[in-house]
Amino acid sequence: MGYLAIRKVIYQGDNYTFESPVINDGIIIIEGDNEHGKSTFMDLIYYALGGKVLEFYQKDKTCDSKHIEIYNDTNNFVELHVEINGEEYELIRTFNKNIIYIIDSDKNVTESQIYRGNNTNDTIFSDWILEKLGIEVFDIIQGTKQFKLGFNDLMRLIYHDQKTEVDKIYKNPQNENFVSDSLQIRNAIFEVLMGEVYNEYYYLLGKYKLKMKEYDDSVASIKTFNELLREITSDELENINYIDENIRIKENNLRNLEIERKIARTTINNPRENIEDIELNKNKILILQDQIYEVNKRKKSIEESIDKIIVLIENTEKEIEEINKIRFVNKKLNLFSPNTCPYCLNTVEREENKCICGNTIEEEEYEKFFYSNEEYLEIIHLKNKYRQSLNSILEKKKDRLDSTKEEILILKNEVENLKEYINDLAIDTNSTYGSAYVRKIDDKIKDIRQEISSLEQYRELALKKEELLTNSTNLRKELEDLKIDVNDKHNSAQKDINIKRFKFNEIYNELMKRADKYCYEAYINDIYMPIVNDKSYRARSASVPKRLMYFLTLLIMSLKYNTNYPRFLMIDTPNKEGIDIDRLKIILEQLNEVNKYIENNDVKFQIILTTGINIYPESLKQNILLTMKDEDKLLKIKGKNKK
């Protein structure tokens, strides 16, 4: 259970300056007239804690209400003295820069970034302060968006600001979009601040979703790799064991051929054997030529089929075009109907079951020559399906034709190789050296070496595929293990948050009845939104206690139970929506309820409240830290004495 408290606020620039008194624990009040700097005081704290205040940003051109003194000042910075769990730090943030300097009690200086950059080694201020408060930093994955829940997300339920619409609860996010203000993010903020176990759950959930993304990427990589394989080879890739065995067999065959080659080079040529070999290979050529003839016949048959299919496709496309024309003309001009004269196109009074010429006909048979627009569309749809089927058949026929042409080419190459071998044998018949046989062995050796080379390339691909599959399998197991852990932690977190919600409702209901005399029942629902008097209509001013008591309940919960809420609350001028002063004082009186929960234990808290002059209950008068009225504003011109 972490604790955050502000001890001093300092502003320095070339033109303006401000330094607050030391700020103690408990309820602290800064009172002042309008436009004297109450909200500026709060925004300086928020800014020093890494928040985004548009009124201060020189680079932001979208904000119409710039804080002129700070916006136009130069060499300006805010210095915040804070206490976090008993440790004191100074936080210095220069305006319009992405840096907060952290100075510890030993005067060690750490430079921290506010916004995450590409350098993962940078110290991020949000991560630093969350770690000091004992809150895990975790990733939130929402759709394609991935980000870390930051301290300024949690500040949406710690800083009760004046700018947020009163009928909302959560402070507006720094960058408003459908992700940053989604229900998932708002629920996560509440659950992390209130739930004893939810922080661990969200940490695990972030790991699970990141691991799921990693697993999905691995599956996508396997799919991409398989598509690449289909482009490289039409055959299915064998596994590594099968390829290794195939390489071993090929290498063994290669060694045998090399031995055979050595023997052939030292053996005297036998002319009779050469003549027998020539006859044998001539017979092989005849067989191959017969095969070529049969494959050519098949090729011709496929080509004829392709031609017929192309004609059918062209005719179908013409039919579709003609039907479309007829449909268009009939739709626009309404030329054709069962009662239209085909010569003059005038409407004819026709007896039922009688043709225009007077002959007896079957009515259904007569009408079938005339189609409605929907019937024409159905005909076109059927024709299109027929055309698609023809196109599909055409593609298959073309693939068959390509494979047939390749088969003919292979057979012809075999014939040419045999003819060359026969010529070499004829030459060797009259010599003592069987060079043709040696060349044949050389060709086999060359072929086997090429096959081994191809197998080794396939082996690399198989290794890569196994590596991808192993990685994917390991990721799937990690994902399954994480899912079990996430589910277990979620169940524990749900039990914890349900208990907390019940306790929250007890405190909230009591505070609301004290703060709002017309409140009979107040509680938060399962998405942690307050329900007052069963959502019956109330004036907008009734939203003032509803929101303020919600924040106050969060603080009281942190005092009474073990939560991540840092026992620190900022309330900026809750005088909104025309609420009358007496009623507002009653609402602010409820701040004293916090003291009930620290009487019997050594628990510290801090509430910083800004309000108008004397707009607070008498019981809080002794809690005033600063009063700003008349000419006494928050920011002082440098060199001008304080009045």
What's the pLDDT score for residue 570?
Answer: 96
Would you give the DSSP letter of residue 527? T
What's the pLDDT score for residue 569?
Answer: 97
Q: What is the dihedral of CA 46, 47, 50, 53, to 10 degrees?
A: 100
CA-nearest of 41, 70, 17 to 639 is 17
Share of the chain above pLDDT 70, in %: 85
What's the pLDDT score for residue 59?
Answer: 62
Kindly report, residue by residue over 92-150, the tens digit of the pLDDT: 999 888 899 999 999 999 999 998 876 667 789 999 999 999 988 777 776 666 778 88
Of 384, 411, 433, which residue sits at a domain end?
Answer: 433
Q: What is the mean pLDDT of the chain?
A: 85
What's the domain range around 131?
Answer: 4-194+607-637
Q: Please state the pTM of the whole predicted model.
A: 0.65
Considering the domain architecture, whether residues 137 and 20 belong to the same structural domain is answered as: yes
pLDDT for 639 beyond 80:
no
Q: Which of 176-180, 463-467, 584-588 has the lowest mean pLDDT?
A: 176-180
Residue whose tokens read 């009979």: 520
CA-nearest of 601, 559, 493 to 2 is 559
Residue whose tokens read 């890569």: 464
What's the pLDDT score for residue 219?
Answer: 92
What's the pLDDT score for residue 504?
Answer: 95
Residue whose tokens read 């300097």: 101
Considering the domain architecture, whether residues 164 and 66 belong to the same structural domain is answered as: yes
What's the pLDDT score for residue 438?
Answer: 75
Q: Is 504 left (phi over 0), alpha (psi -120 to 50) or beta?
A: alpha
Share of the chain above pLDDT 90, in %: 46
In this structure, the number of other CB atoms found within 10 A of the CB of residue 266 comes to 8
Higher pLDDT pick, 426 / 487? 487
Cα–Cα dist 316/381, whole Å: 12
What's the pLDDT score for residue 419?
Answer: 84
Considering the domain architecture, whether residues 273 and 170 belong to the same structural domain is answered as: no
Residues in CB range of 146: below 8 A, 6 or more apart: 139, 140, 210, 213
What's the pLDDT score for residue 337?
Answer: 56
| CB-count burial class (<10 Å; 0-12, 13-18, 19+) for 204 | buried
What's the pLDDT score for residue 68?
Answer: 86
pLDDT for 352 beyond 80:
no
Higher pLDDT pick, 532 / 642? 532
Cα–Cα dist 278/274, whole Å: 6
CA-nearest of 190, 221, 205 to 504 is 190
Is residue 69 in some structural domain? yes
Cα–Cα dist 96/86, whole Å: 30
Higher pLDDT pick, 180 / 159? 159
Is residue 44 in some structural domain? yes
Considering the domain architecture, whether residues 177 and 75 belong to the same structural domain is answered as: yes
pLDDT for 557 beyond 60:
yes
Considering the domain architecture, whether residues 287 and 158 belong to the same structural domain is answered as: no
Higher pLDDT pick, 541 / 221? 221
Of 383, 401, 433, which residue sits at a domain end?
Answer: 433
What's the pLDDT score for residue 270?
Answer: 63
Q: What is the dihedral of CA 314, 317, 318, 320, to 10 degrees?
A: 160
Is residue 288 in some structural domain? yes
Residues 158, 164, 168, 174, CA torsion sign: negative
Kindly report, residue by residue over 234-245, the tens digit of the pLDDT: 778 889 999 999
Kindly report, residue by residue over 578-619, the tens digit of the pLDDT: 788 999 999 999 999 998 877 656 789 999 999 999 999 999
Considering the domain architecture, whether residues 190 and 323 belong to the same structural domain is answered as: no
Higher pLDDT pick, 322 / 571? 571
pLDDT for 535 beyond 70:
yes
Is residue 238 in some structural domain? no
What's the pLDDT score for residue 368?
Answer: 46
pLDDT for 367 beyond 50:
no
DSSP assignment of 277-328, as one string? HHHHHHHHHHHHHHHHHHHHHHHHHHHHHHHHHHHHHHHHHHHHHHHHHHHH
Which residue(s) pair with 89 in the sheet? Answer: 82, 104
Considering the domain architecture, whether residues 179 and 67 belong to the same structural domain is answered as: yes
Query: What is the number of domains present in the chain?
Result: 2
Cα–Cα dist 450/444, whole Å: 10
Of 390, 417, 433, which residue sits at a domain end?
Answer: 433
Considering the domain architecture, whether residues 175 and 321 belong to the same structural domain is answered as: no
Q: Average of pLDDT values for 9-22?
A: 94
Q: Average of pLDDT values for 187-202?
A: 84
Higher pLDDT pick, 163 / 6? 6
Is residue 303 in some structural domain? yes
Considering the domain architecture, whether residues 185 and 293 belong to the same structural domain is answered as: no
Considering the domain architecture, whether residues 172 and 34 belong to the same structural domain is answered as: yes
Query: Which band of pLDDT confidence, cut at 50, 70 and 90, is reported for residue 362?
Result: low
Helix residue spans in 156-239 (DSSP H): 183-194, 198-232
Is residue 49 in some structural domain? yes
Q: Specify the CATH number for the domain of residue 296.
A: 1.10.287
Is residue 410 in some structural domain? yes
Q: Average of pLDDT values for 524-530?
A: 94
Is residue 41 in some structural domain? yes
Considering the domain architecture, whether residues 39 and 164 belong to the same structural domain is answered as: yes
pLDDT for 71 beyond 50:
yes
